[in-house]
Structure 1
Amino acid sequence: MSTAPLTLLSWNFENNGKKDPARRQAGDELLKSLNPDLVFRQELWDADENGRTVFNAQARALGMHGELGDGSCTAVFINPGRFSVVRDWTQSRGPQFVLPPTALTLRYEEAGPDALPFIAVSYHLNYASPAQRLLEAEWLTTWADKGWTTPDGTRVTLPAVFAGDNNSFPVPGADGDPALPELLAIKNAPHRLHRSYPGPDGARVPDTRPDAALRTAGLEDVARYWAATQNGTPAAVSRTVNACDTHGPDSRIDRAYATPELLPAVDEVDVIEVDADLSDHHILRIRMNAGRLVEILNRAAA
């Protein structure tokens, strides 16, 4: 069994390289340099054209197996030496998802054939509508409630990890988290609308409802968890989107959530800053302890 740590990355690579093959190649090379085992990607526009030619080339560039979601909105790449796909929970565009997530049941091969698999979901919440984002977040939680029958016939709930672009803010509370914006400091009026909702008194407030919904369903913000542990640091909750005049201050838009049983396997969380010419989002990185993950998946199966 490999003792090498597992590296999970989540990245909204802007417009999949802005339709520029050289920029797309640079993004793929950056991801590959981080030696990922599991990649949650967003904004792969046009990767499905011509028989997924672009997407297949990107999977080869990463040296990974790729699963592309409907409309090239999201994708998951896996290290085939460590993971295999058990089930594809394909979603199409509809009232519940404007940008459909890619959701897979994965087996961690190093845990052995009787260990529980787990759910991995790459998602991209709606850009413009806080009401739609809340709906989408609520639907995401259905993948934290998928059943599995163990070899002895027991029905259990699968662990799950979600990562993506939330287009909204985390509820304040983590030491070092970027502050919520002052809405009037967001100079672009439509963007103020996109990132807020009417509070109880009718005044608009920054949109934190997707984060609240996911955590109400029992999921944990992995970066917030790590920042709060004895060995964690505030670097875990670093910005993933830079401040700009029109859209407001630094923000932690990109986040990962996990069911609680997976959290003891987390060894580190940080953010890899990316040059603005390459993408408008930074890369969220999570390292997991391989041995602890094996124990968790086998203990849950037992």
Structure 2
Amino acid sequence: MNELRVLTWNIMRGENLRRVIKHVKDVHPDVWLAQEIQPKHHRLLEQKTGMRCYPAPRTANSINDNAIFVRERDDSPLVVEDVFEHPLNGWHPPANVTLVDERFRTEHGARPLSLVSHHLCYFSPDRRLAEAEWLTTLAKPGWLAFIGGDFNSYPAREAPTDETWAEVLAGDHADRAFYTNRTLLFGERRISDVRPHSTLTSAGFVDLALWARDRMGQPFAAEPTAGHMNSARQGGQWRIDWNIASRELAPAVLDVAVGEEMKHVSDHLPIVTRLDLDAVLESMRPALTDSLDAQA
């Protein structure tokens, strides 16, 4: 089966860059939605992976860039059409490109596929929410989007409990800053921040890990993705890295796999999502009614 392979991975500033490169080469993705890419590594990663890098615009906030890497394939009609810059959107601005099916790029009704790599603000729940709200602009009727990244927050049914937060606040290694970063005030108490995930799914996007787990019988698709290495004391391991996509793309998913073997390479685990390329291309084709209207 012809497939589209998407890797989503925060590589912890490239501190273990050789092992990152080896894993990317082993996975051989068509698209890599990357977070915490250092500017000095852009060209090297292009050379080593054979993929074209589309980084987010630079800001004064941080050099931990979001980036999208795309592989050119002779057997796929998907090509990068537009590159968008959003320098004011977020602590780490999102990387955003669109793919088009070059066979239909000039036809009325053809649908581009928006790709976004994002890293939501770690220190402010309100800022995270605003960043997630911006992503909902890609959920307009008729649009197609695939969004992946580090969201620094939790799905509603997978969030830390009061007992977990009590452990974070206990002992000599109490981390009140992390507790404040990942929770929000609700009345007179603080609760885990689940608003970004709820916002995106309310807009119509599908969490592809949950789709694979609940609809396709893949129990390990929604394993925790973060809480390794230097972040191991931050309340344990949680799924804060997600792939969110337009509902039309969900049936194209073949499987979702979390790379547990990379837990000593980054504090985030890579996620590999395989999609049926033919099904993705079908969702991008001009609708028959649109084609007829254009010919009338």
Query: For this structure pair, what is the TM-score category when the shorter chain's length is used for normalisation?
Result: 0.7 to 0.9
The runs of at least 4 consecutive aligned structure 1 residues that moved more than 2 Å come to 108-116, 178-182, 242-246, 274-277, 299-302
For residues 243 and 101 of structure 2, the distance between their equivalents in structure 1, rounded to whole angstroms, comes to 19
In structure 1, the partner of 2:285 is: 298
Give TM-score, length-normalised by structure 1: 0.83
Cα deviation, 1:121-154, whole Å, max 9, x if unaligned, reads 0000001111110111101212233xxxxxxxxx
Asked if structure 2 preserves the Cα contact closer than 8 Å seen for 1:274 and 1:281, the reply is no
Q: 1:41-56 to 2 correspondence within 5 Å?
A: 41-47=34-40, 54-56=41-43
In structure 2, the partner of 1:40 is: 33
Please state whether the residue corresponding to 2:34 is helix, strand or coil. strand
For residues 275 and 110 of structure 1, the distance between their equivalents in structure 2, rounded to whole angstroms, comes to 38
Whichever residue aligns with residue 193 of structure 2, its letter is D
Please state whether the residue corresponding to 1:91 is helix, strand or coil. coil
Identity rate of aligned residues, in percent?
29
Cα deviation, 1:213-240, whole Å, max 9, x if unaligned, reads 11111111111111111x3222010010
1:285 has 2:272 as partner: yes
Asked if structure 2 preserves the Cα contact closer than 8 Å seen for 1:232 and 1:268, the reply is no
Q: Shift in Å at residue 241 of structure 1?
A: 1.1
Rate the CA distance shift 1:290–1:10 in 2: closer, same or farther, 3 A: same
For residues 30 and 133 of structure 1, the distance between their equivalents in structure 2, rounded to whole angstroms, comes to 29
In structure 2, the partner of 1:78 is: 70
For residues 297 and 248 of structure 1, the distance between their equivalents in structure 2, rounded to whole angstroms, comes to 41
Give TM-score, length-normalised by structure 2: 0.85
Q: Shift in Å at residue 46 of structure 1?
A: 3.0
Whichever residue aligns with residue 75 of structure 1, its letter is A
Structure 2 unpaired stretches of 5+: 169-173, 291-296
Q: 1:182-193 to 2 correspondence within 5 Å?
A: 182-186=164-168, 187-193=174-180
Please state whether the residue corresponding to 2:239 is helix, strand or coil. coil
Of 107-116 and 83-92, more deviation after overlay is shown by 107-116
1:226 has 2:225 as partner: no
1:251 has 2:216 as partner: no
Rate the CA distance shift 1:110–1:272 in 2: closer, same or farther, 3 A: farther
In structure 2, the partner of 1:50 is: none
For residues 286 and 219 of structure 2, the distance between their equivalents in structure 1, rounded to whole angstroms, comes to 31
Q: Shift in Å at residue 264 of structure 1?
A: 1.0
Whichever residue aligns with residue 122 of structure 1, its letter is S
For residues 112 and 203 of structure 1, the distance between their equivalents in structure 2, rounded to whole angstroms, comes to 52
